[in-house]
């Protein structure tokens, strides 16, 4: 691992302990799925299909796909996340495989092709190289297999998150080679009472960066959808609707906050 990835690994090892308490694990253990209606509809039936989950954290979504009938493999570079994912699958008797490694090293740990490669919710900003990421997706897909992603729209990362009730551009929309270092004592997104001790590094990628990396890897785009809601409270003045999505009250139907994309290997 390089300096950035090693720092981020420590950051996510730290957050695993926090997220085990804040991610609704008790509800999941009682049978609740962590998959939203958008993903379930857009990915379609996974019953009997092999699914590779990149950047799976501690596996709640991975195991939710297993409950939907998929044959799942989850990958994450946080050792603590993978350790807890394995504990969960054993406790709940869910058939799943979890691999501890960077996705950029996955070819050395996994020799299998999949019907579906999946990644979701807060993933792209941790990747140093989208072109290599797209090549990895292509490599692990069977011919005819699909790739699916849900993530925050790149525009959401440009806004000043300290402003109250108004949008102001503070950060770059376009990619820079060097990542942004975060060490300002920002609360965790899922538990605002927790201030992270470890710094982190994030990369910004534009929507064209994302799409073009997949096209360059010879994947065929089936669709890209944009939404005026998002899966977490990205800005302090967001409100939550009855279905759990976060939105900007003054900007509904005005700016995108989230996107989904589906592609396939021909």
Domain extents in the chain: 48-173+204-265
**Per-chain mean pLDDT for the chain:** 94
174 within 8 A of 217, measured Cβ to Cβ: no
Alpha-carbon gap, residue 255 to 261, rounded angstroms: 17
Instruction: Please report the pLDDT score of residue 163 as a whole number.
Output: 64
* 101-151 per-position pLDDT tens digit: 999 999 999 999 999 999 999 999 999 999 999 999 999 999 999 999 999
* 37-73 per-position pLDDT tens digit: 999 999 999 999 999 999 999 999 999 999 999 999 9
H-state helical runs in 93-199: 130-140
* Block residue for tokens 């092709």: 113
SS3 116: strand
Residue environment code for 140-174, b if the CB has 16+ CB neighbours within 10 A, otherwise e: bbeeebbbbbbbbbbbbbbbeeeeeeebeeeeeee
Sheet strands (E) in the chain: 50-54, 71-76, 96-100, 114-120, 141-152, 180-182, 200-202, 219-227, 239-240, 246-247, 258-265
Instruction: Please report the pLDDT score of residue 119 as a whole number.
Output: 99
Q: Which of 126, 159, 146 shows the shortest CA–CA distance to 230?
A: 159
The rounded percent of the chain whose pLDDT value lies above 90 is 83
Confidence of residue 23 (pLDDT cuts 50, 70, 90): confident
Task: Name the token pair of 71.
Answer: 């044959």
Instruction: Please report the pLDDT score of residue 232 as a whole number.
Output: 93
Q: Tell whether pTM > 0.85.
A: yes
* Domain at 48-173+204-265: CATH code: 3.40.50.150
Instruction: Please report the pLDDT score of residue 22 as a whole number.
Output: 74
* 71-99 per-position pLDDT tens digit: 999 999 999 999 999 999 999 999 999 99
Instruction: Please report the pLDDT score of residue 233 as a whole number.
Output: 92
191 within 8 A of 17, measured Cβ to Cβ: no
């Amino acid at each position: 691992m390089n300096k950035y990835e090693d720092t981020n690994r420590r950051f996510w090892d730290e957050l695993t302990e926090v997220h085990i308490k804040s991610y609704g694990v008790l509800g999941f253990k009682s049978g609740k799925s962590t998959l939203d209606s958008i993903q379930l509809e857009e990915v379609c039936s996974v019953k009997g299909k092999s699914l590779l989950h990149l950047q799976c954290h501690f596996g709640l979504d991975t195991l939710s796909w297993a409950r939907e009938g998929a044959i799942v493999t989850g990958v994450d570079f946080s050792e603590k996340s993978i350790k807890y994912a394995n504990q969960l699958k054993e406790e709940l008797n869910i058939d799943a495989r979890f691999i501890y490694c960077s996705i950029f090293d996955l070819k050395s740990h996994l020799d299998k092709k999949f019907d579906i490669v999946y990644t979701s919710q807060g993933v792209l900003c941790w990747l140093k190289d989208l072109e290599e990421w797209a090549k990895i997706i292509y490599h692990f897909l069977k011919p005819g297999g699909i790739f699916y992603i849900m993530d925050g729209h790149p525009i959401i990362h440009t806004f000043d998150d300290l402003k109250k009730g108004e949008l102001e551009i503070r950060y770059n929309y376009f990619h820079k080679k060097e990542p942004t270092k975060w060490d300002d004592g920002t609360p965790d997104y899922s538990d605002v009472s927790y201030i992270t001790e470890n710094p982190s590094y994030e990369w910004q990628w534009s929507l064209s960066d994302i799409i073009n990396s997949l096209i360059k890897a010879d994947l065929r785009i089936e669709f890209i959808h944009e939404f005026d809601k998002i899966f977490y409270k990205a800005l302090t003045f967001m409100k939550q609707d009855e279905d759990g999505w976060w939105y900007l009250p003054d900007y509904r139907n005005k700016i995108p906050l989230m996107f989904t994309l589906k592609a396939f290997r021909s």
